[in-house]
Structure 1
């Protein structure tokens, strides 16, 4: 029987399009579906997922593609499908509601609402038999006990609209960021470390870049060797594990086990952008060649598989291909032998494969257990000989893998996730100085500003030439952060100017002066049943923590006391929570680090300004801003550059703190010495 399209066939989201031929009478989120529920007094089913979600696919196949199940859904509910990546605001509201119901969150997220879009029941994945039973129970209760359900829904909405300060017992306090609080913060975080395998002590294991980037800053401040040791252990174990694509580069979303071996194979842009920043910064500190290799291979993966012809970055690659999780990435021993021939024996030792396999169904996830130096010594090879072998294996296996059926590509482009990759590229350019990295970054920045910005307003998504959804705070915060990073590596003031314009817009449309925090949604956008604030740093840093950091740096660049003061107030509001729960507020913890000592303000003036910048930024300088120009600036946007000259025609560096500058110097080494002795 020929399948008929439903309303989702008109959408651009790959996730919604996956459901476009379901027999379920799906609506996209919007006024039409909500009005239908009111008109017919039916309960609403909101089903939320994303394109790379394995269990979302399972539930679709088992239930949403099933004619009998669809009949029950269509008869009793107005059914709405939501791509959580397109509508994080909708996802956030109903995920919070689910947790308020005492249910552990996850995707697919299935929430039942009354005709006013207020939630009264929800869950995640259901097997088809349980799903049908639940549908009948909900429908029956909605007909017979509507008043009770409405009362329950009103209580959930009241909970959702509770003030963030009241919910977590926070209060606006005086900016008081002490070394003692900072040390206490680290000790609370330290208690969660897995000292054997890296990461934190739990499975599944997520990379959580914000935690390890904080550790780099903690070590920078304290020189505590244990902090650096834990960071190195984590980065090395992730790079050796199956969570890292040993052949093609790039990281999967998480590992299902404690040893980083078996990933959930979906690859997300937001993870790889942040991990690029992390490995680049770790290289600046350690000069570990493994970190450089991982960073450059991750960039190569993004260029090869996630870059649009226009210069935007696509969202993700699916975990599944041909209906099997990980099939694209794994190898049986006979496959390895066929591809690598006589090299297979040595490659199998390097990647720890076997005839019986190291994962399900006799297949192997390629992973490492030693660094190249140790493995080469064990095998009686020089390091150069081994690395030549490894590169040949990678080339051969990547070629062989390339003819397989590829995982699905989610080719929508999101401003926030692109901004994370853009920031990763600027961090990588600082660390490695390769021109192609900066070129990729600039191409992406131009694409975003041309296609996802209208005057000073951002859009969240882009697909097929269309940007249709208003930007959320995460889009503004992460793009502002990336633009500040782009200025630091180019000295083009247009990037700071763009960042400042976007900051002004967020203050006008997102800021809540009563709590000194930003709402996730604009006051000019669609009003949902609750207007949320994002405080906790998760796999992506919270938009409020990113904005607080942006305000810190822009306050210094632009000499705007309002920005600096607001950054202090935001951190002081959540300070006690940061100290007590740093694992969930790690990006805030990095902001705490910035408040302990004055930030170095470095101006580089003269003909060699860019060369000096490159030399300076090879070093890890997390508490510094850098500005520069080849000649004396008379009308600069940046007060830091005003009146600065290259002395005696030579390139000169000025290191300043709190608007007071030390003696100008003519070498990067002298400038670094001035920075270190503050």
Structure 2
């Protein structure tokens, strides 16, 4: 990114608050933000629209900006013949998702920057991701000529594309299958496992993206099945991610993905949504495997979030850029000369452990810190004790962290998004539940206060974000669903019933604003939202689970807590609609599969009641069990707890789909009843 003091150009994006849009405010391109003014201008002047979508931490977005959008020749062409719209995908995921769906229907692979050329009404006729300057100019000239000389051809293509997108929705919604069985979920995992990388973890090949929800599902699946391959795969994936360059060994936190097949060299942007979900996954994995490294990852990643992404208000910013001083990863990488000057006698142990050398382990003599050998191997090689090696590494990391901190830091995307902060609240709640660290609870309480004061109304209405000028962007389904899930997670860590009632209030509003009775699913946009050229129902899980899979899980969980059979039935019907795809494309339906586990395996409700209920829960919860928990240490009107409490008697009720066994008096007895 360039500094813009004394800039020759300033366009209307200067009035926006999105860091990504502001990055383009001094382009010579006459950018509009997404809105009616741009569409009206295109219709009035009968011009094609360029819809260019990206986000502030996107490296290739910066490259295309520098090559094309800062170029006077390109800008002159765009300004003369097109109406140009810039979109921050994180601010307007609804716009991003429909244009991305269109790109996929065109047979293109998705990514960002996403550049679509559309008719004056916004319907796309062309789409691509990053294009070099000459290719971009060629595309613009071809489409300008086609629109001028053969407009009908583009109109027919646009109409066919819209019909195709609508047909896709109808097909997706009409595939309702029979009720799932546990054997079908086992078959799904078997099919999916053919793409497991059993050496490095993740999916086979490159690049490698962390898929935290997939691991979360497999943890639950392993709990019930004890499938040894799944156990090995979980550990291989989590171990290698924490050892690879994708993990920041000095400051904590994960980059968005690695460009190779073994987690070594990252694409250096750090996203809140990745790190929040990975904190939760590593916390749960620690409870199952008791590996100290997983605990370290959780603690260091939470420290990263609070140091680098937490706003003074208690909310969390969206991302850190991949670039600093115009160079990808410059903040994080090291030359060997750097290390020689800084580490002195600690260099030998550090170099062996983190695989750095004078020739570099990446391109241009650069080193990316990553580990491929245990500390014991370094100790044996150097003749230094394991304990002394650990002391040396700790000292070296602190030295390099301090040295790195004086470098020019990557830019921060200062948007505070409801959905991503909901993921963060879930992460903090899970970490507190596993480790009992009061600092994590305090952070969760502070974030809850921010959400209450800025993003959540008493009515259950959720705002996606608050702008610096105190304007609001209305919430989308993921904001509602993930926030409801976050309050369920917070309840399950604290058993403060207030959070369950907040989750219920949000869910009631989501049902009113987003549920489509004709399709039996939730639309991504609410009733009052802007109408785009295509509808959007988010069904397949990605790095962030699909909003429909999240709300379906929420409905099931709240249905159990509040004895609401209609909500449980609705979640089951939603699951059936994706059951065919779940079996065929399991890796992209893992959050649905978590719901499938609740439906088909011996997923229990466990109620702890009596004066000692809290202590019984903590003892029961020390190891990993997948169940729905509730604690009654006083009389409660929560339906699942009603009439459970007896002042002079502490008991544990183990139930399955509302049918309870005789209460247990001890944790050991309750664990036997878990089966």
Q: Shorter-chain TM-score: which interval? A: over 0.9
Cα shift at 1:124:
1.4
Cα shift at 1:38:
1.0
Mapped pair 1:404 → 2:403:
no
Q: Please point out which of 469, 474, 477 is paired with 2:478.
A: 474
Is 503-512 or 366-375 further displaced after alignment?
366-375
Cα shift at 1:671:
2.5
Give per-residue Cα distances to partners, 1:548-600, cap 9 Å, x unaligned.
Answer: 11111111011100111011111111111101110111211222111113432
Mapped pair 1:191 → 2:194:
yes
Cα shift at 1:621:
2.2
Mapped pair 1:667 → 2:658:
no
CA distance in 1, matches of 2:399, 2:511: 52
Give per-residue Cα distances to partners, 1:45-90, cap 9 Å, x unaligned.
Answer: 1000110111100010111111221111111111000001111110
Mapping 1:346-495, distance limit 5 Å: 346-454=349-457, 455-464=459-468, 466-495=470-499
Give per-residue Cα distances to partners, 1:510-562, cap 9 Å, x unaligned.
Answer: 11223321111111211111121011111111111111111111110111001
Question: Does the C-alpha gap of structure 1 residues 433 and 386 become closer, same or farther in structure 2, counting only changes over 3 Å?
Answer: farther
Who is 1:102 aligned against?
107
Cα shift at 1:463:
3.4
Mapping 1:215-234, distance limit 5 Å: 215-234=218-237
Cα shift at 1:656:
2.5
Mapping 1:234-633, distance limit 5 Å: 234-454=237-457, 455-464=459-468, 466-622=470-626, 624-633=627-636
Say if 1:161 and 1:532, in contact at 8 Å, map to a contact too.
no
SS of 2:554 mapped into structure 1: helix
Who is 1:644 aligned against?
644
Question: Does the C-alpha gap of structure 1 residues 660 and 392 become closer, same or farther in structure 2, counting only changes over 3 Å?
Answer: same
Give per-residue Cα distances to partners, 1:372-404, cap 9 Å, x unaligned.
Answer: 355445544544433322222221111111000
How many residue pairs align between the two structures?
Answer: 669
Say if 1:337 and 1:344, in contact at 8 Å, map to a contact too.
yes
SS of 1:112 mapped into structure 2: strand
Question: Does the C-alpha gap of structure 1 residues 393 and 467 become closer, same or farther in structure 2, counting only changes over 3 Å?
Answer: farther
Q: CA RMSD in A?
A: 1.7
Cα shift at 1:130:
1.8
CA distance in 2, matches of 1:644, 1:588: 32
Cα shift at 1:475:
0.6
Q: TM-score, normalised by structure 2?
A: 0.96
Say if 1:460 and 1:467, in contact at 8 Å, map to a contact too.
no
SS of 2:141 mapped into structure 1: helix
Who is 2:3 aligned against?
none
Say if 1:268 and 1:315, in contact at 8 Å, map to a contact too.
yes
CA distance in 2, matches of 1:647, 1:459: 42
Who is 1:53 aligned against?
58
SS of 2:474 mapped into structure 1: coil
Give per-residue Cα distances to partners, 1:268-304, cap 9 Å, x unaligned.
Answer: 0011111111111111110011111111111110011
Say if 2:349 and 2:378, in contact at 8 Å, map to a contact too.
no
Cα shift at 1:163:
5.2
Cα shift at 1:126:
1.4
Is 655-664 or 100-109 further displaced after alignment?
655-664
CA distance in 2, matches of 1:85, 1:104: 19
CA distance in 2, matches of 1:593, 1:330: 43
Who is 2:98 aligned against?
93
CA distance in 1, matches of 2:462, 2:481: 11
Question: Does the C-alpha gap of structure 1 residues 377 and 604 become closer, same or farther in structure 2, counting only changes over 3 Å?
Answer: farther
CA distance in 2, matches of 1:673, 1:429: 26
CA distance in 1, matches of 2:517, 2:173: 18
Q: TM-score, normalised by structure 1?
A: 0.96
Is 73-82 or 450-459 further displaced after alignment?
450-459
Mapped pair 1:71 → 2:73:
no
CA distance in 2, matches of 1:431, 1:235: 17
Runs of at least 5 residues in structure 2 that lack an aligned partner in the other structure: 1-5
Cα shift at 1:4:
3.2
SS of 2:263 mapped into structure 1: coil
Question: Does the C-alpha gap of structure 1 residues 144 and 250 become closer, same or farther in structure 2, counting only changes over 3 Å?
Answer: same
Question: Does the C-alpha gap of structure 1 residues 512 and 142 become closer, same or farther in structure 2, counting only changes over 3 Å?
Answer: same
Cα shift at 1:160:
2.0
CA distance in 2, matches of 1:376, 1:50: 44
SS of 1:243 mapped into structure 2: coil
Who is 1:145 aligned against?
150
Is 87-96 or 124-133 further displaced after alignment?
124-133
SS of 2:197 mapped into structure 1: coil
Say if 1:598 and 1:658, in contact at 8 Å, map to a contact too.
no
SS of 2:607 mapped into structure 1: strand
CA distance in 2, matches of 1:441, 1:378: 44
CA distance in 1, matches of 2:220, 2:384: 37
Cα shift at 1:170:
4.3
CA distance in 2, matches of 1:320, 1:163: 38
SS of 2:473 mapped into structure 1: coil
Cα shift at 1:666:
4.1
Say if 1:432 and 1:618, in contact at 8 Å, map to a contact too.
no
Question: Does the C-alpha gap of structure 1 residues 378 and 631 become closer, same or farther in structure 2, counting only changes over 3 Å?
Answer: farther
Question: Does the C-alpha gap of structure 1 residues 546 and 375 become closer, same or farther in structure 2, counting only changes over 3 Å?
Answer: farther
SS of 2:57 mapped into structure 1: coil
SS of 1:628 mapped into structure 2: strand
